[in-house]
Amino acid sequence: MKHILQVLRFEYLGSIKSKSFIISTAIFMVMILLLSFLPGIIMSVQSSQQGDQDRQKPVIAVCDKAYQGNPLVKKEFENYYPDSDIELTTADTNAVSEKVDNGDYLFAVVINDPLSCTYITKNNAVFSDTMRKVQTVVKEIYQTVSLEKEGVSGDVSLKILNAQVKMNTVTTGTDQSKNYLSAYILMMVLYIAIIMYGQMVSQSVVSEKNSRAMEMLITCARPSHLMFGKVIGSGLAGLTQLVLILSTALVSINTVSKDTLPTEIMDFLNFPLATVLYALLFFVLGYFIYSFLLGALSSLASRSEDLNTLISPVMILFIAAFLIVVMAINSDSVNGTLMVVCSYIPFTAPLAMFARIVLSDVAVYEIIISVAVQLISVYLLGMLAAAIYRIGVLMYGNPPKPSEIVKMLKEQHKANKAVKESIKTK
């Protein structure tokens, strides 16, 4: 433990004192502070634009060819677009299109038949719901006119057609609608943090090997001490950076952005303490699992150019785990068979089990089993990483093939076993 603590202290202090660590932390904190002023700026701009709109409302042109100037047409469009002026026109389609193109009209609607219309716009936005609203208005006009022909007055028909259903929701389990955004935010934090700090370990290993410092270190401590100390030290440095960044975000949200952010967003950003603690737990477990793998593979690289090739399988594995969880969330199958299985696989469990805990009801024993599996995997992967690290210390040239690594590990295990037996004999 003494040697591990020495390596941990050296790695931790080296990481937090490095220029890249200080600069990246400062940049993230400044960006968060700047972003905290963004809602206020947006609100000011919107207020200014709203003032301009109040002075001059946009105009929507409606060309009624189906109902011959029925006042119901204008009334219905005014109900759906209260912030715009509705102008009834008898101009032809080309003339209306020209005015839309010139900006005189926000958009135009030509009602050709009771259930047929032409929507004219200059720019058709991808996420705009204007077309759907126009279809709804034209449909309601048709329904109201049809009911009037059957003897139902226009006011009564509009009241019937525009009736709203009041619905109360009782949730007996987890309310995913409240936890959906928070789960995504924390999932992204987990994903980015594990990748970023895992690669920090791999970069550290490669730089030590290139400088031949690893050869000297291996003579002073066991490979397991070096590997565990390095991973824990880098993890603590990463945790320090995360705490600084998240603390800045927390202070900014509760001071600068508190009065400018909508209540709904503030509710989403007020993460429950249990959720934050679970996120921290699975970050630590996921970090150790992937850092040991990345550190072991990085020790086999003789040049920094070989690093990406060696660690790419691990990165692909982690990206695949992330995509599986995201697809399960989007398809509303958080507790599906695949997610349940992934909750007990060490490489997918940090993300899968966290998502299940936040977005569903998971039995306590399932969480305990998942965490236990990950803890055992951390220890086993740590010992495996130390063994590979010992092999890779003095290995230069082209990285060995997987079969060669397995062969060398077996030979190393036999040699260690022989040494232990000889010591027992003596």
Which of 161, 191, 211 corresponds to the end of one domain?
161
The answer to whether residue 16 is domain-embedded is no
Residue 138 CA to residue 76 CA, distance in Å, equals 9
The answer to whether residue 131 is domain-embedded is yes
140-143 contacts at long range (C-beta below 8 A, 24 or more positions apart)? 140/76, 141/67, 141/70, 141/72, 141/73, 141/76, 141/111, 141/114, 142/114, 142/115
pLDDT of residue 105: 92
Phi-psi region of 174 (alpha: psi -120 to 50; beta: other; left: phi over 0): beta
Query: Hunting for tokens 């959906």 — which residue is that?
Result: 180
Say if CB 350 and CB 194 are below 8 A apart.
yes
Residue 362 CA to residue 282 CA, distance in Å, equals 15
118, with CB counted inside 10 A (0-12, 13-18, 19+), is middle
- 97 and 217 together in one domain: no
- Tokens representing 241? 């950076």
Residue 210 CA to residue 233 CA, distance in Å, equals 20
Detail the DSSP E strand segments found in 106-168. Answer: 107-113, 116-120
Split into its structural domains, the chain has a count of: 2
- 144 and 226 together in one domain: no
The answer to whether residue 32 is domain-embedded is no
Which of 129, 161, 193 corresponds to the end of one domain?
161
What is the signed CA dihedral for 225, 226, 231, 232, rounded to 10 degrees? 50
Residue 271 CA to residue 179 CA, distance in Å, equals 9
pLDDT of residue 399: 63
- 153 and 195 together in one domain: no
Would you write out the chain's pLDDT as a tens digit for each of its 426 residues? 676 777 778 778 877 888 888 888 888 888 888 877 776 666 666 555 555 555 578 899 999 888 887 888 898 898 888 888 999 988 888 899 999 998 889 899 999 988 899 999 888 765 567 888 899 889 988 888 888 888 877 677 777 777 777 777 666 666 565 667 767 777 787 788 888 887 777 777 777 666 655 555 655 667 667 777 778 888 888 888 888 888 887 777 777 666 666 565 566 566 677 888 888 888 889 888 888 888 888 877 766 677 777 888 888 988 899 999 888 888 878 888 899 999 999 999 998 999 888 888 888 999 999 999 999 999 898 888 888 877 766 665 566 666 666 776 677 667 666 656 666 665
Residue 333 CA to residue 329 CA, distance in Å, equals 6
- Tokens representing 242? 């995360």
- 259 and 350 together in one domain: yes
The answer to whether residue 9 is domain-embedded is no
Residue 119 CA to residue 131 CA, distance in Å, equals 7
- Nearest Cα neighbor of 325 from 293, 304, 310, 347 is 347
Indicate the residue type of 372: A
- 314 and 408 together in one domain: yes
- 246 and 333 together in one domain: yes
CATH no. for residue 150? 3.40.190
pLDDT of residue 170: 64
Residue 137 CA to residue 105 CA, distance in Å, equals 18
pLDDT of residue 151: 80
The answer to whether residue 390 is domain-embedded is yes
Say if CB 361 and CB 293 are below 8 A apart.
no
pLDDT of residue 63: 92
- Nearest Cα neighbor of 344 from 360, 314, 325, 366 is 366
The answer to whether residue 42 is domain-embedded is no
User: Cα 319 to chain center, whole Å?
Assistant: 12
- 383 and 346 together in one domain: yes
- 189 and 315 together in one domain: yes
* Domain coverage including residue 260: 174-425
| Strand partners of residue 87 | 61
- Tokens representing 258? 């508190």
pLDDT of residue 169: 67
Secondary-structure breakdown of the chain: helix, strand, coil percentages, each rounded to the nearest 5: 70, 5, 25
383, with CB counted inside 10 A (0-12, 13-18, 19+), is middle
Residue 359 CA to residue 336 CA, distance in Å, equals 12
- 146 and 275 together in one domain: no
Residue 351 CA to residue 52 CA, distance in Å, equals 47
Distances in Å between the Cα of 108 and the Cα atoms of 128, 131, 134, 243, 359 are 15, 11, 10, 53, 44
- 136 and 279 together in one domain: no
The answer to whether residue 37 is domain-embedded is no
The answer to whether residue 11 is domain-embedded is no
pLDDT of residue 108: 92
Query: Hunting for tokens 């279809």 — which residue is that?
Result: 135
- 261 and 315 together in one domain: yes
- 238 and 383 together in one domain: yes
Which of 116, 134, 161 corresponds to the end of one domain?
161
